[in-house]
Amino acid sequence: MKLDPAVIKLLDLDPETTSVSSSGGGGCSSASTSKITSKLSDGTERCFFMKTGRGKDAEVMFEGEHVSLNALHDAVPSLCPQPFGYGHFSSQPSTFFLVTDFLNLTSRYISKSSGPSLASKLATLHTTPAPIPEGYDIPMFGFPVTTCCGDTPQENDYNSSWADFYANHRLRFIVRRAEKLNGKDEELNNLVETTASKVVPRLIGDGHLNNGNGVTPVVVHGDLWSGNASVGVIGTKGGNAEEVVYDPSSCYAHSEFELGIMKMFGGFGGGFLKEYHQLCPKTDPVEEYEDRVKLYELYHHLNHYALFGGGYRSGSVGIMKSLIRKYGGA
């Protein structure tokens, strides 16, 4: 299979010595994945990973992933593959692509990493302050582009308040989307509104965390379940296998937001969190840590309900009712 000229131009490859083959992976329901293999003039081989999809949704998704990978890579270069660009095919303008370094993956469960552990890389990521966005004078919560968690395009408008960002651009946003996809749901809507208006300011209010000092925005992967982490070698220049992540849905957030989906689907044991928290301490008040992680897990239950319906609603309702009983008083 020949590679589209737009990708040839982006990567500066020779079309006569470059081929494309099918590859596993994807990270969403609509993307196709390929491996690009090119023989260079010095006789060496270079491989890239490419996602393709059709229409505006694919364009939004690939831009978000490209910017997410750049943000992760800038903070911890060995954490994820380097992105090289995204765009549309010149031969098929309605088909969009994303190109990154190829990952030669094995498995976190059967392979030994020779580099820093994923826990230590994640701790480094979560203790690196977010950059100051253009037009602002302090780091902000949010992200410069829309990112997709699964197939959900997320609102990432900048906000100086973490509590406001989480209440408006995660909880209230996702219940609107869930109702659009699954129908009106008065109970769910009321529970989300009570959680956003009462639990959020009580539990993660800017004047409450860290003895009133709030939290510093850091970049998070945003969709870090065990299926988006593995052990492998980035690129084709050789080197040792390391623990890596991929398919991010990033934003600048409270570091503990990352832990919500990690808890929801498991795959990261007590030893992982012990090592992680030795390097990235729990936010004060520490005694409310488990409930904050539960609050962050809630977003992913609601997102999965929006995407898949069914049992994820009951998980969402259970979390909200327990948090409202504990923190929802006037």
Q: How far is CA 161 from CA 2, 168, 204, 254, in A?
A: 48, 11, 10, 10
Residues marked active site are found at 223
Q: Distance of alpha carbon 244 from its chain centroid, rounded?
A: 13
What sign does the dihedral 73-86-68-36 (CA atoms) show?
negative
C-beta separation of 39 from 131 below 8 A: no
Q: What are the structure tokens assigned to 265, written together?
A: 């689907």
Q: Which of 314, 282, 283 is nearest to 298 (CA)?
A: 314
User: 322 to each of 201, 328, 329, how far by Cα in Å?
Assistant: 16, 9, 12
In 3-state terms, the chain is what percent helix, strand and coil (to 5)?
A: 45, 20, 35
Spatial separation of the C-alpha atoms in residues 207 and 160, rounded to whole Å: 13
Q: Which residues, in sequence order, are CB contacts of 165 under 8 Å at separation 6+?
A: 141, 142, 159, 253
Q: Is 83 buried (19+), middle (13-18) or exposed (0-12) by CB count in 10 A?
A: buried
